[in-house]
Amino acid sequence: MNSGALSRWLPWVVVGLFALFPMLESTFYTQLVTKVLIMAIFAMSLDLLVGYTGLVSFGHAAYFGLAGYALALMGPKYEAASLWWTLPASLGICVVFALVTGLLVLRTRGIYFIMVTLAFAQMLFFVFHDTKLGGGSDGIYIYAKPTMNLGETVLVNLEKLDQFYWLVLFFTAATYFLLRRILGSSFGRALVGIKVNEHRMRALGFPVFRYQLASFALGGALGGLSGYLAAVQFGFVNPEILSWHQSGMVLMMVILGGMGTLHGAVIGAFAFVLLQEVLSNQAWFGIAAKHWQLAMGILIMLVALYMPQGLAGLMNGFRRKPQAEAEEGADG
Amino acid sequence: MDLAFILIQLLNGLQYGMLLFLVSSGLTLVFGIMGIINLAHGSFYMVGAYLAWSLASMTGNLATAIAIAIPLTVVLGMALEKLLFRQLYTRDHLYQVLLTYGLILVFEELRSIIWGDDVHGVAVPALLSASIPLTDNLSYPVYRLAISGVCLLLAFALYVLIQKTRLGMMIRAGASNRDMVQSLGIDIKFIYTLVFAMGVALAAFAGMINAPLSSVTPNMGSHVLIICFVVVVIGGIGSVKGAMAASLMIGLAETFGTVLVPEVAGMIVYVLMAIVLVWRPEGLFGRK
Residue B187 falls inside a structural domain = yes
Question: Shortest Cα distance from A63 to chain B (angstroms)?
Answer: 17
Residues facing residue A107 across a β-bridge = none
Residue B3 falls inside a structural domain = no
- For residue B45, pLDDT beyond 60: yes
Q: What is the C-alpha to C-alpha distance for residues A174 and A229, in angstroms, rounded to an integer? A: 14
Q: What is the C-alpha to C-alpha distance for residues A283 and A287, in angstroms, rounded to an integer? A: 9
Q: Which of B95, B104, B267 sits opposite A304 (nearest CB)?
A: B95
The whole domain housing B73 covers: 11-126+141-218
- For residue A327, pLDDT beyond 60: no
Q: Which residue of B has its CA nearest to A103?
A: B278
| pLDDT tens digit sequence for A122-132 | 889 888 888 88
For residue B264, give the nearest of A124, A323, A172 by alpha carbon: A124
Cβ neighbours of A137 in B, within 8 Å: none
Residue B229 falls inside a structural domain = no
Residue B284 falls inside a structural domain = no
- For residue A37, pLDDT beyond 60: yes
Query: Which of A49, A116, A120 would you mutate first to test chain B, the one with the most B CBs within 10 A?
Result: A116
Q: Which of B92, B98, B277 sits opposite A300 (nearest CB)?
A: B98
C-beta atoms of B84 and A301 within 8 A:
yes
Q: Which residue of A has its CA nearest to B112?
A: A291
Strands A140-141 and B131-133: unpaired
The arithmetic mean of pLDDT across residues A20-25, rounded, is 77
Cβ neighbours of B263 in A, within 8 Å: 130-131
How many other C-beta atoms are found inside a 10 Å radius of the C-beta of residue A92? 14
Q: Is the dihedral of CA B138, B144, B145, B146 positive or negative?
A: positive
C-beta atoms of B229 and A127 within 8 A:
no
Q: What is the C-alpha to C-alpha distance for residues B182 and B177, in angstroms, rounded to an integer? A: 9
Nearest 5°: phi and psi at B284?
A: -60, -45
Q: Which of B93, B106, B229 sits opposite A118 (nearest CB)?
A: B229
| pLDDT tens digit sequence for B244-275 | 999 999 999 999 988 888 877 778 888 888 88
What pLDDT is stored for residue B217 in this prediction?
87
Q: What is the ipTM of this complex?
A: 0.84
Give the mean pLDDT of chain A. Answer: 86
Please check whether residue B267 is in contact with residue A119, taking contact to mean a CB–CB distance below 8 angstroms: no
Residue B179 falls inside a structural domain = yes
Q: What percent of chain B has pLDDT over 90?
A: 43
What pLDDT is stored for residue A320 in this prediction?
45
Q: What is the C-alpha to C-alpha distance for residues B214 and B250, in angstroms, rounded to an integer? A: 18
What pLDDT is stored for residue A91 in this prediction?
96
Query: Which of B24, B39, B105 would you mutate first to test chain A, the one with the most A CBs within 10 A?
Result: B105
Q: What is the C-alpha to C-alpha distance for residues A123 and A139, in angstroms, rounded to an integer? A: 16
Residue B256 falls inside a structural domain = no
Residue B168 falls inside a structural domain = yes
Question: Shortest Cα distance from B36 to chain A (angstroms)?
Answer: 9
> Where is pLDDT greater, at B136 or B189?
B189
Q: What is the DSSP string of A81-149?
A: PBHHHHHHHHHHHHHHHHHHHHHHHTT--HHHHHHHHHHHHHHHHHHHHHSTTTTGGG-EE--SPPBEE
Q: What is the pLDDT confidence band of residue A115, given thresholds at 50, 70 and 90?
A: confident
Question: Shortest Cα distance from B136 to chain A (angstroms)?
Answer: 33
Q: Which residue of A has its CA nearest to B263?
A: A131
What pLDDT is stored for residue B33 in this prediction?
85
Please check whether residue B286 is in contact with residue B239, taking contact to mean a CB–CB distance below 8 angstroms: yes
Q: What is the C-alpha to C-alpha distance for residues B110 and B119, in angstroms, rounded to an integer? A: 16
Interchain CB contacts (distance < 8 Å): A and B: 132
Q: What is the pLDDT confidence band of residue A326, given thresholds at 50, 70 and 90?
A: very low
Q: Which of B92, B109, B274 sits opposite A329 (nearest CB)?
A: B92
| pLDDT tens digit sequence for B116-161 | 888 888 888 878 878 888 777 778 888 989 999 999 999 999 999 9
The arithmetic mean of pLDDT across residues A136-151, rounded, is 84
Query: Which of A123, A250, A302 would you mutate first to test chain B, the one with the most B CBs within 10 A?
Result: A123
Question: What separation in angstroms does the CA of A154 have from each of A89, A144, A225, B110, B160?
Answer: 21, 15, 21, 51, 73
| pLDDT tens digit sequence for A57-100 | 999 999 999 999 999 998 777 778 888 899 999 999 999 999 99
For residue B223, give the nearest of B43, B75, B48, B69 by alpha carbon: B43
Query: Which of A50, A104, A112 would you mutate first to test chain B, the one with the most B CBs within 10 A?
Result: A112
Cβ neighbours of A255 in B, within 8 Å: 94-95, 98
What pLDDT is stored for residue A119 in this prediction?
83
The domains of chain A, with CATH numbers, are 5-319 (1.10.3470)
First to last CA, chain A: 27
Q: What is the DSSP string of A158-182?
A: TTSHHHHHHHHHHHHHHHHHHHHHH
Residue B276 falls inside a structural domain = no
Q: How many CA atoms lie within 13 A of B110 on its CB side?
A: 14
Strands B131-133 and B139-141: antiparallel
Question: Shortest Cα distance from A119 to chain B (angstroms)?
Answer: 6
Question: Shortest Cα distance from B8 to chain A (angstroms)?
Answer: 24
Q: What is the pLDDT confidence band of residue A325, given thresholds at 50, 70 and 90?
A: very low
Judging by beta carbons within 10 Å of its beta carbon (0-12, 13-18, 19+), is residue A234 exposed, middle or buried? Answer: middle
Q: Which residue of B has its CA nearest to A124?
A: B267
Q: Which of B264, B271, B277 sits opposite A108 (nearest CB)?
A: B277
H helix intervals, B184-239? 188-210, 220-235
Cβ neighbours of B222 in A, within 8 Å: 244
- For residue A324, pLDDT beyond 60: no
| pLDDT tens digit sequence for A241-289 | 988 889 989 998 998 888 888 999 999 999 999 988 888 887 777 777 7
What pLDDT is stored for residue A61 in this prediction?
96
Q: What is the C-alpha to C-alpha distance for residues A300 and A263, in angstroms, rounded to an integer? A: 19
C-beta atoms of B101 and A291 within 8 A:
no
Please check whether residue B274 is in contact with residue A100, taking contact to mean a CB–CB distance below 8 angstroms: no
| pLDDT tens digit sequence for B156-179 | 999 999 889 999 998 888 888 888
Using the 8-state DSSP alphabet, how is residue A290 labeled? G
C-beta atoms of B103 and A104 within 8 A:
no
| pLDDT tens digit sequence for A154-163 | 888 888 888 9
Residues facing residue A236 across a β-bridge = A141
pTM of the prediction?
A: 0.86
- For residue A323, pLDDT beyond 70: no
Q: What is the pLDDT confidence band of residue A329, given thresholds at 50, 70 and 90?
A: very low
Number of domains forming the structure of chain B: 1
Q: Which of A104, A126, A308 sits opposite B267 (nearest CB)?
A: A126
Determine the distance from the C-alpha atom of residue A141 to the mean position of all C-alpha atoms in its chain, rounded to a whole number: 22
Name the least confident of A222-236, A270-284, A310-324, B80-94.
A310-324
The arithmetic mean of pLDDT across residues B39-58, rounded, is 93
What pLDDT is stored for residue A4 in this prediction?
66
What pLDDT is stored for residue B185 in this prediction?
87
C-beta atoms of A297 and B265 within 8 A:
no
Cβ neighbours of B92 in A, within 8 Å: 327, 329
Q: What is the C-alpha to C-alpha distance for residues B65 and B120, in angstroms, rounded to an integer? A: 15
